[in-house]
Amino acid sequence: MTWDFIADHIQKLDILSNEENELVTVKEIPKELQCVGVGTDAVVVRSLDAPNYAFKVYSNDKLEKLKVEKHVYEKLGQSDLFPFYYGSGSNFLVLSFEKGLTLYDCLLKGIHIPKQAIEDVDKAIAYALSRGLNPRDIHLKNILLHEGRAKLLDVSEYLKQGNDCRWHYLKQGYQENYHVIDGKAVPFWIVETVRKWYNQTQPETFHFQDFVRKLTKIFRVGA
């Protein structure tokens, strides 16, 4: 399938990246496209003319990351644990459109996150490792839940070295503390406070139990 007819619309997108790992700013989006996701380097859009595909469009200063993510998808090959990679354009990747909600949105809406989703993430990590990759940056916005099963999104950091421990701490938090909020809609300001606290913490000084105690205090305030 050729993407030329979509590429014309994509070039009319106006997006700007921001500092401090904040989401890109979408200044203009053509009426032929629907925005379905916003990240720190790119936006994800769909076209009504090709609804089964998702187009990940990068800001002009992040095109090196496009090359990296393209290479990662080529190494991953086909797996039900990740979106399928179809091809690329000058500033976008073409992926399968995946239905569902991120775990981030599940927390906001109070939607139950089953144990199976955690197991699926572990399987996806093991699969990526078997393909010679280093799965990193696995957080709530990069895990998609649909009909009780999970997939990993955004593989752009899988060529980097080291373990950022994000999934390790998320999994530990799920196993030890998720029952406290299961089925409850967590206020947006609490989720964002937690995200920013974690991002501002240096890995070598992070202590999980201290972090949990700090979170317990703000949950009491927000209750």
Q: Is the pLDDT of residue 193 over 60?
A: yes
More confident residue, 214 or 7: 7
Of residues 198 and 172, more confidently modeled: 172
Extents of the domains making up the chain: 10-96, 101-213
Q: What would the pLDDT profile of 47-82 be if each residue is shown by its tens digit?
A: 988 899 999 999 998 999 999 999 999 999 999 999
Yes or no: is domain 10-96 CATH 1.20.950? Answer: no
Domain 101-213: which CATH number of 2.40.10, 1.10.8, 1.10.510, 1.10.3470: 1.10.510
What is the C-alpha to C-alpha distance for residues 15 and 70, in angstroms, rounded to an integer? 20
pLDDT tens per residue, range 100-147 = 999 999 999 999 999 999 999 999 999 999 999 999 999 999 999 999
Residues 22-44: tens digit of each pLDDT? 888 998 889 999 999 998 899 99
Specify the pLDDT at position 8: 87
Residues paired with residue 201 on neighbouring β-strands, in sequence order: none
pLDDT band at 191 (very low <50, low <70, confident <90, very high): confident
Q: Please report, for residues 17, 121, 147, 172, the alpha-carbon distance to residue 68 in angstroms, rounded to integers and kept in the order given.
A: 17, 22, 30, 30
Res 197: pLDDT: 67
